[in-house]
Chains A and B, each alone.
Chain A
Amino acid sequence: MSKRIPLHWRLIPHRYRLLGSECKRCREKFFPKRTVCPNCRRRGQIEEVGFSGKGEIYSYTIIHVPSRGFEFLKPYVMALVKLTEGPLVTSQIVDCDPEEVDVGQKVMLTFRKISVDGSSGIIRYGYKFKPKTSLSL
């Protein structure tokens, strides 16, 4: 069911490196990427742009009833991370005790396995975020 190899391949640079879009006309940055600027539409000038991976937690929840494929990670933290450049990203927060997570906490990009297609299919890597405390690296 979860093959869709070309779909996952297309999203590799965006998932690995937080590659998004910027409209050169209205200067708004978008993550995930967009092909049409919602502000400027046909007058927009969309280009690829990277994000630093720095941000802070805008909201979070601790998932106790997991999504399929994430059963053994529970309880895990899902958050809306506000990137310093503006956009909100939906992502897991890792490398910390779920109880330590809080709104406003500074986080940084990390690289982890997101899901795996069974024992013989491809591994899908991508972005997660971890707290940016001095000891958390």
Chain B
Amino acid sequence: MKEKETEEKTYVEDIDRSIYDFRYDEKDSYRVDEGLTEEIVRQISEEKNDPQWMRDFRLESLKIFNKTEMVDWGPDISGLDMDNIVTYVRPNTDRMHANWDEVPTDIKDTFERLGIPQAERESLAGVGAQYDSELVYHNVKDEVASQGVIYTDLESALHTEHADRIREHFMKLVPPTDHKFAALHGAVWSGGSFVYVPSGVSVEIPLQSYFRLNAPGAGQFEHTLIIVDEGAYLHFIEGCSAPKYNVANLHAGCVELFVGEGATLRYSTIENWSKNMYNLNTKRARVEKNGKVEWISGSFGSHISYLYPMSVLAGENARAEFTSVTFAGEGQNLDTGTKVLHNAPNTSSYVNTRSISKSGGISTFRSSVVVSNKAKGSKSSVSCQSLMLDDISRSDTIPAMDIRTSDADIGHEARIGRISDDVVFYLMSRGMSEEDARALIVTGFADTVGKELPLEYAVEMNNLIRLEMKGSIG
């Protein structure tokens, strides 16, 4: 009986992604052969002029990779054939720049279209931009640098006075033995950032790294190492995107965060990889006494994701907060969640996640909370809510808890729901179209994360949701 509009009804996801989905012909000056061999790892190491220990580390990691079984407990990744992945693509620029005008035009245009230089001018203390395997731009505002804050790429830092500090921390939180893709990362890592905030320094405005994968069939393996010393504060933002190709791309990055005594680190990510991406990323934070890590995570892109940022609460009274939203649309299987290890007295963790699935998308939330017998008086609260937008989508919640002390306060809550017809009707009764009403309900559902993000990222997140909701009725 109802007359419905038919324009905009067709599913046009790949066209509508135009903000992210543009590409330039690859003009890389250098790319290694497909696949993974000792020869390739040596080539990458050569290309990067690694110190000897790093070269040995890469080769050792490769051995571990070859010995380690493929993961078999999560979404199917058999579509990922390592023999077809190019692990290193150097863009056509011979070095990293601190001035956008020196960055090659096509690369600069890419970041302009993504709004990075503008964000840098308006609201960031420093920016790093990675294109395929290498950082093409890195700059930090003078006032931040003068406080002793280091924000640079890892490779060049390996040849400076920071070398020892890097060696002391590099892949100590996420060792190559952790899982197969951690080993792969150890062998072929390239790019990423090294951040050091000295004791007592509070960086008032955020630093941001943006990762862009332009080359088809390539992998991106950036390593982010952040050390926030005693009593210091930092907000670090990471963004990622890629245009869509018909071949599989792989992202196996690694993030290691060291939060010192009484320090606070906020780590925000809006991930919007294209839907041919295998996003097998490992992130981990170690938090000392009275320190705090705050994870804010938005996962929108990729074909398959395995993503479980972990907080190791190593010192008394250390705290972790984890806030995330995951949106799985057509053809996406996003397996996300978090892990917390309470390993000292009076530590606390607070986890609040939202996941949305639509058009056959699969969204799985996994959490693991371990409270060791050393963690008396600890508290943990885990809450996950899922929203399924239709009957063909799927949402699962898999919480695990391992509590080794009787003196702990642990809570878990999970809810799975659908968009309420009553709310849609209410909004429509005020003149809103059905599509807008549903989009509003979904952004409202994701608002716990939106509220935690800086305004321009919250706007970007809401735009991503609107994009996903467009034409979804019918």
Do A and B form a real pair?
Answer: no
* A interface residues with partner B (beta carbon < 8 Å): none
